[in-house]
Structure 1
Amino acid sequence: MSANTSPAESKMAHPRMAAGALFFDPEGRVLMVQPSYKDYWEIPGGYIETGESPLRACEREVWEELRITPRIGALLAVDWAPSESEGDKVLYIFDGGELGSDELDRIQLQPEELITFRFVEPGRAGELTIPRLARRIAAAAAARQAGETVYLEHGQVPGSIAA
């Protein structure tokens, strides 16, 4: 415990936070990107910087990764998803809406990080990514359909059977 940290503060969580967006095509499929530094696919997004809101981080990351500035809409999901290697994590997923052909034509992938992108059925995201992210994508897509925001733990609604 540092000299400036009280006993109560030392017990407080200091999670890493990240924000991303689900973008859809007219068929309801979700945009996924293939990072060059991972062996699985992701959604556009990344870590929130100090003093940055989750929404602003999402907008910044979408610009940095795709070079587009679509309106980022409602919060679809919040996922408490700690990992052994990174500790406590809180992940926010926002509704990026449906991308039209004009926006798709303007996408310029960040070459240092991304190889390609494609649209996939939300229920088939598990073919490209890790199970926890696949569950998060499916839950966020379902929340969008229902006009709701969903709270998740490890990509699933608390109390549901682990996948």
Structure 2
Amino acid sequence: MGTHEAAPARPQVSAGAVFFDDDDRVLLVDPTYKKFWNLPGGAVDVGETPRAACVREVREELGLDPSIGPLLVVAWTANGPDGKLFFVFDGGVLPPDRRAAIVPAPGELAEYAFVPVERARRLLSEPQWILLTEVLAARADGVTRYVESGQV
């Protein structure tokens, strides 16, 4: 019997944030390169932490310099050969002046919107909707969640 060791998995890593307005509507973005809407965020670069990537991506996508709160959900999905890890942080409630300062990245985002949670279900892919429900539950009860699922 040989002692063959498998190479460690190298999942893609992404980070994003969930933001709300004063009416408890969730901020979603419509990326030009994806079929469905999404939470703001994107890929974690080499040598970057998930939190730093979240801040950078929100700045790039929306022109905001967010104060990112606690980690709400870590999700592993079956995307790609090694899977994908998502880190979703709490961006909190954006006051009117911060909402007015949003500038969607040209060429990257078709639009953005604060939508009631029920409407988010129609804009997100099914796996992203499941992720959002976990994010909302984690935010409500203050307990970080770990989720495994199929493709997002």
TM-score relative to the length of structure 1: 0.85
Q: Which among 65, 78, 84 is matched to residue 69 of structure 1?
A: 65
Residues 68-122 of structure 1: CA deviation (Å, up to 9, x unaligned)? 1120000000001122x46410101000010111111111110010011111233
Counting matched residue pairs gives 148
**Distance apart, 1:28 and its partner CA:** 1.6
RMSD: 1.7
For the pair 1:21 / 2:21, whether they are aligned, the reply is no
Given that 2:41 and 2:58 are in contact with CA atoms closer than 8 Å, whether structure 1 keeps it comes out as yes
CA distance in 1, matches of 2:29, 2:81: 22
| Unaligned segments of structure 1, at least 5 residues | 1-6, 156-163
SS of match in other structure, 1:107: coil
**Distance apart, 1:153 and its partner CA:** 0.9
Corresponding residue for residue 115 of structure 1: 110
Q: Which among 81, 89, 95 is matched to residue 94 of structure 1?
A: 89
For the pair 1:131 / 2:126, whether they are aligned, the reply is yes
CA distance in 1, matches of 2:146, 2:117: 18
CA distance in 1, matches of 2:8, 2:55: 28
**Distance apart, 1:126 and its partner CA:** 2.1
**Residue type of the alignment partner of 1:110:** A
| Unaligned segments of structure 2, at least 5 residues | none
TM-score relative to the length of structure 2: 0.91
CA distance in 1, matches of 2:81, 2:39: 19
Between the two structures, name the one with larger relative contact order (CA 8 Å, sep ≥ 6).
2
Residues 32-65 of structure 1: CA deviation (Å, up to 9, x unaligned)? 0111112210110000001110000000000000
CA distance in 2, matches of 1:60, 1:116: 19
Q: Which among 26, 41, 47 is matched to residue 45 of structure 1?
A: 41
Given that 1:45 and 1:58 are in contact with CA atoms closer than 8 Å, whether structure 2 keeps it comes out as yes
Corresponding residue for residue 32 of structure 2: 36
SS of match in other structure, 2:127: helix
For the pair 1:82 / 2:78, whether they are aligned, the reply is yes
